[in-house]
């Protein structure tokens, strides 16, 4: 008889059991808006050239004005001026010694008899017809000289005008060329955005992939298909057309694709599912056609589509008609993968963490022949992953990676990489030469529970938190079906003021009714300790997270696992979320009468476990008081020390005494 693991069982193995005393009954977890950082927009190359061009033009215009205006300004500074009337008066009074008239500029330079030796002549602006002035000059016998000045301003003005004409023409040509370039980009809008590598140099090989041995073996066979196809075709085997990598986030799906690219030695295309779809209808389908056209030209080759759920979601779900852009893109992808025309030599590798929302036509054999599950690594896998990530870090010889692997059930490969990185940061912050177990343990606490907060001061509040956490620890230790306690601490982390850590049993794939009730009873241990020690009036909001967890677990026992007086019935609604591939309308599959019975059964289970928790607190008050005093003094009690104290006062189950 084969039994599959349910999602609930996988989730229960994923993390440490943790009980947290919360300071407030309700914690506002809504995301706060973040101020967008100032982003400097980089202009395209053409825009930068155009801006540079006009800056140069403006500078030249400024210099032109300076150059053309300099001679006239210099003359104004070195010569004085007279009015026309003053000139006539001085001629009549015989005060003018000499006069020079420039026909080009209509300026007269007048030298006076009273002028000093080095004093420059004075300037007078003339009219086009100056008959009266010439008559007076002849009558007074004033020496008069008429000549044309050698000023080249007119020539410079002509050259400047020609220069500006050529400059405007060059600017017009640049604008036309830029417009033509944009038109070319518009024509390429439907081209594939896939990154192409003739021989992928990802720097990742199968030796760098650890913890997912089964998935790695499946994909190694795909590489062999590409390198030595005759081994399989000789016996009539057909090369698989597609491989779908399925698993939770952080388990190594993209890393496996990089390893395939590094090992295969064939052309490699990589693209994200979101890069197919644009705001314009038809662009996604065009990009799919272009991608497979390029792949056929370079066959045999690999095509990796990351996050394929962005384009491969179930058709007809949510709101949208048959002309929806995403559906057209999916239809084209289905046709290219296994349509009328073949695509021999092209292997499609896709990755997703939402296989439940993918279209059924996409998952059938002939398109994705294989679905490789990339699941959470077990103890051995975590140990191998830690060894890979520890290669480039300076680890103290006393560090035991096997112990770290035991402490991290439910961690993914990405979690373990982040764990060692956090430990390295703590080591550098503490100015140590190598990473020790202290830094690794602190990093585990930080990754799971958050940053370490300010220690609590001795007060009634600290003692109340201590009783709450010791209540969890003692009750879970006394229950034979509960996981052993790893440690109890009063050091705040994140939003939790105190924490109780457990060591789950990974080897057990199924969970019994007794274990579920033990978990609910231990979760209510903190509230039970508050009620028995301080009284009903002093009960705090610290158990808000525990109560939420207790209610959820009891309801699952009734509606999902069939562990109630209602009988072996599955009453949980199977419908998915809107826009995620499920039904648009979700409704319960049972009557209101059954719903009332469900609520009554949930309440019965919780009340029974709550009564057991309060009884255990009353019967073991001496143990609890002693552990509370020790916890306030040390702020942290390890699991072995806690079990030793409990064993001195009562008989314990063998499972609690022997912790692997």
Q: Are 628 and 470 a contacting pair, CB within 8 Å?
A: yes
Local structure of residue 366 (DSSP, 8 states): T
Point out the catalytic residue in the list 218, 275, 439, 469: 469
d(CA 87, CA 81): 10
- 478 CB-contact burial (10 Å; exposed 0-12 / middle 13-18 / buried 19+): buried
Burial tier of 83 (Cβ tally within 10 Å: 0-12, 13-18, 19+): exposed
3-state SS of 17-48 is CEEEEECCCCCCCCCCCCCCCCCCCCCCHHHH
Structure tokens at 308: 């394929």
Of the candidates 27, 24, 19, 25, the residue with the CA atom closest to the CA atom of residue 466: 19
What is the rounded CA–CA span in Å between residue 42 and residue 40? 6
Torsion of CA 607, 608, 610, 614, to 10 degrees: 130
Is 128 buried (19+), middle (13-18) or exposed (0-12) by CB count in 10 A? exposed
Burial class, 232, CB count within 10 angstroms (exposed 0-12 / middle 13-18 / buried 19+): middle
Q: What SS3 state is found at 226?
A: helix
**Nearest CA among 464, 449, 475, 503 for reference residue 628:** 464
Q: Give 353: exposed, middle or buried? Use CB within 10 Å, 0-12, 13-18, 19+.
A: middle
Whether 469 sits among the annotated catalytic residues: the reply is yes
Residue with tokens 């006076």: 112
Phi, psi for 502 (deg, rounded to 5): -125, 160
Query: What is the DSSP code string of 283-344?
Result: HHHHHHHHHHHHHHHT-SEEEEEESGGGT-BPTT-SS--TT-HHHHHHHHHHHHHHSSS--T
- Specify whether the CB–CB gap between 435 and 399 falls below 8 A: yes
Q: Which residues are catalytic?
A: 469
């Amino acid at each position: 008889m084969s039994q599959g693991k349910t999602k609930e069982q996988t989730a229960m193995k994923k993390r440490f059991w943790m009980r947290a005393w919360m300071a407030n009954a309700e914690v506002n977890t809504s995301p706060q808006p973040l101020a967008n950082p100032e982003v400097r927009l980089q202009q395209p190359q053409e825009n930068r050239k155009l801006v540079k061009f006009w800056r140069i033009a403006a500078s030249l215009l400024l210099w032109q004005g300076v150059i053309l205006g300099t001679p006239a300004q210099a003359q104004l500074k070195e010569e004085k001026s007279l009015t026309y009337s003053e000139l006539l008066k001085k001629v009549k009074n015989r005060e003018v010694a000499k006069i020079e008239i420039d026909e080009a500029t209509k300026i007269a330079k007048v030298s006076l008899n009273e002028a000093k030796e080095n004093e420059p002549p004075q300037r007078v602006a003339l009219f086009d017809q100056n008959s009266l002035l010439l008559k007076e000059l002849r009558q007074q016998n004033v020496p008069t000289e008429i000549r044309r000045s050698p000023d080249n301003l007119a020539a410079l003005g002509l050259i400047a005008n020609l220069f500006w004409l050529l400059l405007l023409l060059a600017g017009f040509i640049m604008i036309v060329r830029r417009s033509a370039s944009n038109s070319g980009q518009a024509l390429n809008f439907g081209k594939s955005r896939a990154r192409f590598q003739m021989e992928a140099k990802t720097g990742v090989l199968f030796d760098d992939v650890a913890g997912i041995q089964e998935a790695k073996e499946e994909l190694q066979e795909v590489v062999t298909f590409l390198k030595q196809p005759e081994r399989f075709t000789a016996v009539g085997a057909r090369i698989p057309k597609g491989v779908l990598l399925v698993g939770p986030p952080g388990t190594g799906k993209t890393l496996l694709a990089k390893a395939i690219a590094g090992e295969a030695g064939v052309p490699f295309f990589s693209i994200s599912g979101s890069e197919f779809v644009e705001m314009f209808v038809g662009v996604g389908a065009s990009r799919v056609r272009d991608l497979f056209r390029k792949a056929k030209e370079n066959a045999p080759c690999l095509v990796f589509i990351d996050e394929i759920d962005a384009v491969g979601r179930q058709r007809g779900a949510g709101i949208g008609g048959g002309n929806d852009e995403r559906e057209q893109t999916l239809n084209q992808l289905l046709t290219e993968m296994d349509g009328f025309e073949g695509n021999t030599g092209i292997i499609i590798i896709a990755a997703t963490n939402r296989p439940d929302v993918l279209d059924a036509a996409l998952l059938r054999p002939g398109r994705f022949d294989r679905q490789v599950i990339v699941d959470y690594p077990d103890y051995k896998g975590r140990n191998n992953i830690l060894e890979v990530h520890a290669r480039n870090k300076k680890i103290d010889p006393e560090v035991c990676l096997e112990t770290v692997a035991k402490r991290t059930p439910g961690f993914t490969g990405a979690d373990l990489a982040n764990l060692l990185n956090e430990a390295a940061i703590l080591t550098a912050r503490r100015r140590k030469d190598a990473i020790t177990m202290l830094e690794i343990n602190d990093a585990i606490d930080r990754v799971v529970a958050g940053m370490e907060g300010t220690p609590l001061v001795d007060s009634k509040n600290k003692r109340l938190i201590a009783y709450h956490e010791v209540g969890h620890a003692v009750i879970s230790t006394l229950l034979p079906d509960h996981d052993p306690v790893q440690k109890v601490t009063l050091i705040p982390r994140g939003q939790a003021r105190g924490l109780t850590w457990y060591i789950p049993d990974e080897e057990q794939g199924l969970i019994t009714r007794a274990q579920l009730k033990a978990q609910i009873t231990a979760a209510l241990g903190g509230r039970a300790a508050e009620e028995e020690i301080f009284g009903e009036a002093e009960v705090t909001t610290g158990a808000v997270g525990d109560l939420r967890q207790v209610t959820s677990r009891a309801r699952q026992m009734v509606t999902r696992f069939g562990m109630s007086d209602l009988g072996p019935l599955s009453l949980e609604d199977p419908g998915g979320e809107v826009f995620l591939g499920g039904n648009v309308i979700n409704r319960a599959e049972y009557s209101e009468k059954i719903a009332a019975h469900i609520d009554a059964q949930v309440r019965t289970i919780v009340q029974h476990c709550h009564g057991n928790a309060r009884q255990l607190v009353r019967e073991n008050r001496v143990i609890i008081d002693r552990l509370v005093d020790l916890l306030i003094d040390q702020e942290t009690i390890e699991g072995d020390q806690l079990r030793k104290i409990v064993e001195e006062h009562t008989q314990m189950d063998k499972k609690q005494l022997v912790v692997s």
